[in-house]
Structure 1
Amino acid sequence: MKILVIEDDPTTADYIVNGLRQEGHIVDQVANGREALGQSMNAGYDALVIDRMLPGLDGLSLVKALRAAKVTTPAIFLTTVGGVDDRIEGLQSGGDDYLVKPFVFGELLARIQALARRPATIIQESVLSADNLSMDPGRRKVTRAGREIDLLPREFALLEHLLRRKGRVQTRTMLLEALWDISFDPQTNVVETHISRLRAKIDKPFEKELIETVRGAGYRIND
């Protein structure tokens, strides 16, 4: 899944972002509510993790603004504000779930996964596709020509990243930063290794190859 973490405490943000990435998800993070509003509307996220106490625009106002704009991306509040009335207010504002800090990462992950299992009508871009390849991020299901393909979490995240940017070249550096949280490492071949594994599963058994190597630039998926 592609998840936006909206949290202004650096320690908490790093803990959540690193944990979600280790589970194979694509994760962005912002610390300002007003910046998060624009990003949430335009970047096609599958889930939002939102602190209530944010600079620029508080979490409640952020979710209310998203719902008013018909953005239905599932949102879970993660906050120290934990009274019964506070939880009710958060859910009534348009939040889908509410978790109080301090929290256990496993519970946060389980709640995000539960949101992803809700009917596809509430999840933006619930199905991604290229040619006869189809991906349902919420259900973590990939098929090509009607055949289901079993992917490891990192392979799934790599394919999802490419599909969401279909037709656009993704450089090695872009992939390292998005999927492995590595800014630059000339020694690692992790991208090439995972591209090769992904090709073996979604391209080699079929007549047409979807993952294209753009010489000197990077990789992309085309229809």
Structure 2
Amino acid sequence: MSGLNLLYVEDDARLAQDVAQLMAAEGNRLSWTASGEEGLKRAGTEAFDVVILDRMLPDLSGIEIVRRLRDAGIAAPVLMLSALGRAENRIEGLDAGVDDYMAKPFDPPELVARVRALQRRAAGQAHSAVILFGDLECHIKARTAHRRGRHLALSPKEFALFRYFMENAGEVVTREMLLRNVWNLSFDPQTNVIDVNVGRLRRKLEEGFDAPVLETIWGTGYRLVAA
């Protein structure tokens, strides 16, 4: 990881200093603010390779920050750090538009590796700005979805699902694949979060159109098909 421009929003000054030293040792530039409002402003107006975001801030929660960023169409990769590390906490963060979620305390080398992975993923997106399949369009940088030219209003998690289905169009996508690649979970939280989100996405993809595009493969998962 060389020469990345990072933003860290964290109200624990000592932890922020430790992370700043860790990232500097890797040759990166880290800007720090303890204010959620200031972090939101900077993330919305400056170009950062990765935003590292504490969840519990005194003035504006990390969840609210990432929701506002995604609503504004800002797609900078966000890694959330939080003492709240239960499955439901991670799911809430990922549903809000967070790209990765780490529980505190964390292993410093793992933090470096995850920031590196987020930057690589974001860099790869720039080479594939639009994915086309049938009458569907997935605009990666704009984080927008279209069918037959009609814009589909998707939430951040619905867009993440749509993008993953588009990247694997025509192939069977299992629940395990969705948990690992969309929710960043290595285990099944035993909730209906996948079914609910896929159901919402299906309605938005198919409502007002005559042909279905998202099939349920019973007992296995789902498959995106061309209309």
Equivalent position amino acid for 2:56 in 1: M
Choose the corresponding residue for 2:83, options 77, 80, 85: 80
**Pairing of 1:14-93 with structure 2 (within 5 A):** 14-93=17-96
Choose the corresponding residue for 1:7, options 5, 10, 18: 10
**What TM-score comes out, normalization by structure 2 length?**
0.53
Runs (4+) of structure 1 exceeding 6 A deviation are none
How far, CA to CA, are the matches of 2:16 and 2:120 in structure 1? 24
Provide, for residues 27-81 of structure 1, a one-character-per-residue CA deviation record: whole Å limited to 9, x for no partner: 1000111111100011100101111001221000000000001110000011101
Equivalent position amino acid for 1:34 in 2: E
Identity in percent: 38
How far, CA to CA, are the matches of 1:36 and 1:97 in structure 2? 18
How far, CA to CA, are the matches of 1:122 and 1:32 in structure 2? 30
- 1:119 deviates by 4.5
Going from structure 1 to structure 2, the CA distance change for 1:9 and 1:24 (only over 3 Å counts) comes to same
Is the 1:53–1:79 Cα contact (8 Å) retained in structure 2?
yes
**Pairing of 1:182-193 with structure 2 (within 5 A):** none
Is the 2:77–2:122 Cα contact (8 Å) retained in structure 1?
no
Q: Are 2:100 and 1:97 equivalent residues in the alignment?
A: yes
Equivalent position amino acid for 2:15 in 1: T
Equivalent position amino acid for 2:36 in 1: G
- 1:121 deviates by 6.6
How far, CA to CA, are the matches of 1:76 and 1:50 in structure 2? 6
Equivalent position amino acid for 1:103 in 2: F
Equivalent position amino acid for 1:64 in 2: R
Secondary structure of 2:68's aligned partner: helix
Q: CA RMSD in A?
A: 1.2
Provide, for residues 169-201 of structure 1, a one-character-per-residue CA deviation record: whole Å limited to 9, x for no partner: xxxxxxxxxxxxxxxxxxxxxxxxxxxxxxxxx
Equivalent position amino acid for 1:91 in 2: L
- 1:122 deviates by 5.1
Secondary structure of 1:117's aligned partner: helix
- 1:11 deviates by 1.1
- 1:120 deviates by 3.0
How many residue pairs align between the two structures? 123
How far, CA to CA, are the matches of 1:51 and 1:30 in structure 2? 11
Is the 1:74–1:122 Cα contact (8 Å) retained in structure 2?
no
How far, CA to CA, are the matches of 1:14 and 1:111 in structure 2? 19
Equivalent position amino acid for 2:123 in 1: A
How far, CA to CA, are the matches of 2:83 and 2:41 in structure 1? 25
**What TM-score comes out, normalization by structure 1 length?**
0.54
In structure 1, list runs of 5 or more residues that go unmatched: 124-223
**Pairing of 1:144-159 with structure 2 (within 5 A):** none
Is the 1:34–1:56 Cα contact (8 Å) retained in structure 2?
yes
How far, CA to CA, are the matches of 1:67 and 1:121 in structure 2? 19
Q: Are 2:116 and 1:113 equivalent residues in the alignment?
A: yes
How far, CA to CA, are the matches of 2:124 and 2:27 in structure 1? 23
